[in-house]
Amino acid sequence: MKKLFLIPSMILCVITAYAGNPDSVFVKGYATGKNDNKNGLHIAYSFDGNNWTSIGNEFSFLRSDYGRWGSSKKMFDPVLIKLNDKWACYFFTEAEHKVVGVTYSEDLVLWKPQDYFSYEEVKAKYTAVFKAFVMGTHSYKVPWSFAQSLIDHTELQTYKNAQSDVTAKSFAEKNPGLKPVNVSLSVNMNAKKQISNNLIGVFFEDLNYAADGGLYAELVQNRDFEYSPKDRKEWNSSSQWKSSKGLVKIDSIAPVNKNNPHYATIENGEVLVNNGFDGIAVAAGEKYTISLFARSANKSSLSVVLTDSNGNKLSNEIMLAVNTNNWKQYAAVFTANSSFKYARLSVTAKKYATAVDLVSLFPAKTFKNRKNGLRNDLAQAIADIKPRFMRFPGGCLAHGNGLDNIYRWKNSIGKLEERKPDFNLWGYHQTMGLGYYEYFQFCEDIGAEPLPVLAAGVPCQNSSHNQHTGIAGQQGGIPLNEMDSYIQDILDLVEWANGDKTTTWGKVRAAAGHPQPFNLKYIGIGNEDLISEVFKERFAMIYKAIKTKYPAITVIGTVGPFYEGSDYSFGWDFASSLGVPMVDEHYYVPPGWMIDNQDFYDKYDRQKPKVYLGEYAAHVKGRPNNMETALTEALYLCNVERNGDVVSMTSYAPLLAKEGRTQWNPDMIYFNNSEIKPTTGYEVQKMFGNNSGDEYIESTVSIDNNNTDVQQRIARSVVRDTKTGELFIKLVNLLPVAATIDFKNIVFSDYTTARTILQGNPDDKNVKAVTTQNDVQSNQLVLPAYSFTVLQMKHP
């Protein structure tokens, strides 16, 4: 597939260009300050120490990993220092020269995870090196072959980037006269291998308002009056509420629960209004359940009603008699009398001042009618993929912005008033209403294995600050003397999920309404973490504890956010040395990369940990989810199926994104309060999820066009479900012309065949797959330009 044959000739050119060079050369590191100081370390060489040539035309050999994406990740005044057996790079992380980043490499290409120190610390601890550092730019003599290896590296990267940059448009422009192709496909039913039957899952992260305001069906925003400036600096307890008296009165003297310290007091005659999450969408005739906690020193009552912005009633008005000064929960059901996208909930105190908290409004119809349940349309769209598993609650959300923000599963279970809300590092608030119980219940409802991801004892490396050092961006870990208790929490999770109802945590699950175990099989530890010593020490402790107590649980480790580089390489080494059964790979890449790397997993060592491709997507400029990206993902997944013996699980980019509230693209399903908008990428996931097998059948193709760029835009995969005997043939045509497939040894009249096609132009969005029954009778099938076809074949 790959055209690496080009590389040796490029290298040869370079060698020829420097023929006659001396045996050694000077090298030095430097930065330019371009791109807001985010281009990192460049390296130059010189034969005489005076005239310097930049290697790879300002190629970035190393970038700062310090601080948050966007505002940080800057490098100032880097200095390369040669130590005995390796190189060090010291640099400043901001112009003020307060924090120093340090990292090491043997070859100046693969760098160890970065550490950060205050300038004062560096001065005190690293005297010899510090001297070299403060001396600033200086150079070292190295063998020419070393400089050559750096040049080769940049050449290879430039070549790979050019391959990745090829788009459907640029390919079509480069091949204007391309003729339709003919493909001969031979399926060898006797050559087969077992593959994972868990290949297609989903990744749910609470970002883009995926939980509160999204899948979680709660319609009231800031129902618990716990919004705070930690969520967003302009927010406080009364945010999203309006009072007819101007100011919403917030109290915290005797709350419903210590975990929910704030509540509102409504004066007699005062009206509190909540707009929901950008409006409350109600449908005529539908029922809605209002519930709230209230108390009043006198016998009071509350009137609750849905209205439009002019106060016109959209539902019946309900009176709740509040007859005690102790917190008590009240509930009633409304029926909406008309459909409206921007309804609001009004709560009025009649007679006396009344305190309220956890003011909640749910549609009566939730997914599977679960209490505290999920939005039906979104949940159903997820279920329709037939995902074999669901990873949750993140992503970055799982390990949080700083130690205090690590997602603690115990804070997310129990009665709603006992759950502990927290800020969401994506810039909003987590009520924890959609908590571990609801995630597990949802997984069970859709037949997916739950795959909770817990922090590896370290927060996100992009955290804004480190509690221990006070230095931003450093991946500080949970103090070692607190690790036992952190690990116990993880072991408790397994007991909560799998223990019988007599166990301490099994009893908690049973009390919540699920006496039967959830049968948890997988736990993810970590998310894209730096493979630092801090991480490794804590991960190993957690891994060993789970393995000892629950050997049947598959622990999934983490190998960084890219398909190569430091975290990928060191993460794989570390996981392999520990014997971790599976690792979680992530990569968001241009379509050209996927097309050019269809053999990525062919090269994987089958003896090493299995792969969970936990986050991936093809993305083009602007990151829309369109036919080009969807077809590329289909093409790549055909190759993943072929490697289903080493890739055990996959899940696409984040599942959900609310329109106007999206922090990350691409995502699989966009939505607003009343509509859902599954993407073309969703269609591909659904086609794979609904047509998967546990046996991969070998096939060969020959194409009547010798151009490898053409050939690699046709992909196929044949799998069989050994339980049902169904055969699934997947065919991708990413060419701008049709491809006629001639099936060599499949007799279509032996089968009943359903055909599902996704077809459109590369820029098209929202294309839907179409299924027809029994229209494939002959052994020839035309794949339209830019299409993905699945044949579902059954012996009658």
The phi and psi torsions of 728 (rounded to 5 degrees) equal -125, 125
Q: Which is nearer to ligand AHR, 617 or 790 (CB)?
A: 617
Q: Which is nearer to ligand AHR, 205 or 226 (CB)?
A: 205
Min dist CB 612 to ligand AHR, Å, is: 13
Q: Which is nearer to ligand AHR, 659 or 764 (CB)?
A: 659
585 near ligand AHR, judged by CB under 6 A: no
CB 514 within 8 A of CB 493: no
Closest CA to 559 of 491, 486, 618, 609: 609
| Number of residues counted as binding ligand AHR (CB under 6 A) | 12
Min dist CB 623 to ligand AHR, Å, is: 12
Six token digits for residue 448: 């997916």
527 near ligand AHR, judged by CB under 6 A: yes
Among 276, 499, 561, 681, binds ligand AHR (CB under 6 A): 561
Min dist CB 395 to ligand AHR, Å, is: 3
Q: Which is nearer to ligand AHR, 422 or 495 (CB)?
A: 422
Q: Which of 528, 585, 628, 726 is catalytic?
A: 528
Closest CA to 367 of 417, 441, 447: 441
Q: Which of residues 600-619 bind ligand AHR (CB under 6 A)?
A: 615
Q: Hey, CA dihedral for 213, 216, 218, 221, is it positive or negative?
A: negative
Q: Which is nearer to ligand AHR, 357 or 567 (CB)?
A: 567
Min dist CB 700 to ligand AHR, Å, is: 37
Among 78, 214, 279, 395, binds ligand AHR (CB under 6 A): 395
For tokens 């804590």, the residue is: 538
CA distances from 642 to 87, 230, 547, 695, 717 (A): 41, 47, 30, 10, 7
β-bridge partners, 241: 274
664 near ligand AHR, judged by CB under 6 A: yes
Q: Which is nearer to ligand AHR, 388 or 586 (CB)?
A: 586
Binding mask 192-221 for ligand AHR (x = CB under 6 A): -------------x----------------
Q: Which is nearer to ligand AHR, 205 or 495 (CB)?
A: 205
Min dist CB 210 to ligand AHR, Å, is: 10
CA angle 385–712–634, rounded 5-degree value? 5
- The answer to whether 726 is a known catalytic residue is no
562 near ligand AHR, judged by CB under 6 A: no
Min dist CB 507 to ligand AHR, Å, is: 33
528 near ligand AHR, judged by CB under 6 A: yes
Q: Which is nearer to ligand AHR, 64 or 300 (CB)?
A: 64
Min dist CB 228 to ligand AHR, Å, is: 22
Q: Is 745 exposed, middle or buried (0-12, 13-18, 19+ CB in 10 A)?
A: exposed
CB 289 within 8 A of CB 370: no
Expressed in angstroms, the distance from the first to the final Cα of the chain is 38
Closest CA to 599 of 544, 642, 547: 642
Task: Please identify, among the stretches 231-239, 324-332, 389-397, 761-769, the one whose residues bind ligand AHR according to the rule CB under 6 A.
Answer: 389-397
Angstrom distance (rounded) from CA 597 to CA 327: 61
Binding mask 159-198 for ligand AHR (x = CB under 6 A): ----------------------------------------
Q: Which is nearer to ligand AHR, 91 or 652 (CB)?
A: 652
For tokens 């599954």, the residue is: 678
Residue number with the smallest Cβ distance to ligand AHR: 395
Task: Please identify, among the stretches 100-108, 250-258, 345-353, 392-400, the one whose residues bind ligand AHR according to the rule CB under 6 A.
Answer: 392-400
454 near ligand AHR, judged by CB under 6 A: no
Task: Please identify, among the stretches 258-266, 359-367, 393-401, 771-779, the one whose residues bind ligand AHR according to the rule CB under 6 A.
Answer: 393-401
Residue 634: CB atoms within 10 A of its CB come to: 30
Strand duo 115-118 + 99-105: pairing: antiparallel
For tokens 């490098």, the residue is: 75
3-class DSSP string for 382-414: HHHCCCCEEEECCCHHHHCCCHHHCCCHHHHCC
Angstrom distance (rounded) from CA 375 to CA 656: 12
Q: Which is nearer to ligand AHR, 601 or 616 (CB)?
A: 616
654 near ligand AHR, judged by CB under 6 A: yes
Min dist CB 615 to ligand AHR, Å, is: 5
Q: Which is nearer to ligand AHR, 45 or 570 (CB)?
A: 570
Half-sphere exposure in the Cβ direction for 109 (13 Å, CA): 17
Task: Please identify, among the stretches 90-98, 390-398, 597-605, 754-762, the one whose residues bind ligand AHR according to the rule CB under 6 A.
Answer: 390-398
The phi and psi torsions of 432 (rounded to 5 degrees) equal 70, 15
Q: Which is nearer to ligand AHR, 397 or 729 (CB)?
A: 397
Q: At what angle do helices 533-549 and 480-498 cross, to 10 degrees?
A: 40
Return all residues near 61 (Cβ < 8 A) that are at least 6 apart: 29, 40, 41, 42, 43, 108, 109, 150
Angstrom distance (rounded) from CA 568 to CA 471: 25
Q: Hey, CA dihedral for 387, 391, 396, 401, is it positive or negative?
A: positive
Among 101, 201, 394, 506, binds ligand AHR (CB under 6 A): 394
| The residue type at 42 | H
Angstrom distance (rounded) from CA 206 to CA 578: 31
560 near ligand AHR, judged by CB under 6 A: no
Return all residues near 415 (Cβ < 8 A) that are at least 6 apart: 257
Min dist CB 545 to ligand AHR, Å, is: 24
Closest CA to 792 of 775, 254, 635: 775
Angstrom distance (rounded) from CA 111 to CA 560: 13
**Which string of DSSP letters, residue by residue, matches 627-658?**
HHHHHHHHHHHHHHHHTTTTEEEEE-S-SEEE
| The residue type at 331 | A
CB 435 within 8 A of CB 445: no
β-bridge partners, 288: 334, 363
Angstrom distance (rounded) from CA 250 to CA 32: 52
307 near ligand AHR, judged by CB under 6 A: no
Six token digits for residue 283: 């449908």
| Runs of H (alpha helix) within 46-125 | 119-125
276 near ligand AHR, judged by CB under 6 A: no
β-bridge partners, 714: 733
396 near ligand AHR, judged by CB under 6 A: yes
Min dist CB 373 to ligand AHR, Å, is: 25
Q: Which is nearer to ligand AHR, 395 or 433 (CB)?
A: 395
Interaction site with ligand AHR (CB under 6 A): 205, 394-396, 527-528, 561, 586, 615, 653-654, 664
Residue numbers annotated as active site:
528
